[in-house]
A and B are shown apart, each in its own frame.
Chain A
Amino acid sequence: SYELTQPPSVSVSPGQTARITCSGDALPRQYTHWYQQKPGQAPVLVIYKDSERPSGIPQRFSGSSSGTTVTFAISGVQAEDEADYYCQSADSSGTYPVVFGGGTKLTVL
C-alpha cells in the first residue's frame, strides 16, 4: 500500500503561523491537495495542486512542496481555523490513485 504521513496534532496560538507536513515517497512526482474538516461537517478543499487556493479560501492559507514533503501553512491563525486537516495525493504507479493522509488536528490555544 501507499501511505501519506501527517503529524497527529499541531498546536499554535492565535496570530501565529501553523505548519502541517505531509510526507510520501511519490510526492516529488504527484500533486498534493489539502482539506479542512470541522466537527460534524464535510471536508472542504483549501489547497489543490500543492499551492493553489480555491475561490473563497482566505489568502492566509498556503501550500508548498519540497521533495518528499509538502507543507500546508496558515498564517495569522484564527480560532475558526481549529479543525482536522487532511492531505491527499496518489502513488506513482496508478495503483493507489487517491490516498489520504491520516489527518492532523490543529488546535488554536
Chain B
Amino acid sequence: QVQLQESGPGLVKPSQTLSLTCTVSGGSISSGNYYWSWIRQPAGRGLEWIGRISASGTTIYNPSLESRVTISVDSSKNQFSLKLNSVTAADTALYFCARGVFWTGYYSYYYMDVWGKGTTVTVSS
C-alpha cells in the first residue's frame, strides 16, 4: 500500500526557509486523482492545512500562509516538497504530508486518506 515519509532539517533559524520533502512509496505520485498535501500541528494544538499540489503541479494554498509557501512536485523522484520562508517560532510544529482524494463536480470534496508519520521542525537560533 502507499506510504509517505517526510524528511528534512529538524532545526531552522528564524527568518530562514523551512524545506521538507515527502517521498511516496508503494505507488506512483502521478496515478489516480490525487492531490498531495502538507499539514502542520504545533505541540498540543490542532491541525492546520498548509496547501496541496497535483501531480501536474497545480497548487492551492491556505490563504493565511500563501505569501510564504511554495509546494512543488518531482514526479521522477515520486516526491513533493514544501518551502516556507521567513519562518518564526510560530512555525515550530509537527509537519505531516498526506495523500488526498479530490473530486470536483456539483459537490466537490477533498479528504486525506494516507498520512506520513510526521517530522518535527523547530525554529530557533
B118: chain A residues within 8 A (beta carbon): 42
State whether B111 touches A43 (Cβ < 8 A). Answer: no
Q: Are A86 and B46 in contact (CB under 8 A)?
A: yes
Complex: A35 Cα to B108 Cα, angstroms: 19
With A86-B47, A98-B52, A98-B62 given, is the CB distance from A45 to B110 under 8 Å? no
Q: How many CB-defined contacts (below 8 Å) exist between A and B?
A: 64
Interface contact B113-A98, CB-CB below 8 Å: no
Q: Does B117 contact A (CB under 8 A)?
A: yes
User: Which residues does chain B contribute within 8 Å of A90, judged by CB atoms?
Assistant: 108-110
A95: chain B residues within 8 A (beta carbon): 63
Q: A101: which B residues are within 8 A, CB to CB?
A: 46
Mark out the residues of chain B between 106 and 124 whose CB falls within 8 Å of any chain A CB in the assembled complex.
107-113, 115-118
Bound CA–CA A58/B62 (angstroms): 32
Q: How far is the CB of A33 from chain B (nearest CB, A)?
A: 4
CB distance from B114 to the nearest CB of A (A): 8
Cα of A30 to Cα of B108 in the assembled complex, Å: 7
A15-72 contacts to B (CB < 8 Å)? 29-31, 33, 35, 37, 41-45, 48-49, 54
Pick the residue among A44, A96, A103 that contacts B47 (CB under 8 A): A103
B37 beta carbon closer than 8 Å to chain A: yes
For A101, give the chain B residue with the smallest CB separation. B46
**Interface residues in chain B, defined as those with a beta carbon under 8 Å from any beta carbon in chain A:** 37, 46-49, 52, 60, 62-64, 96, 101, 107-113, 115-118
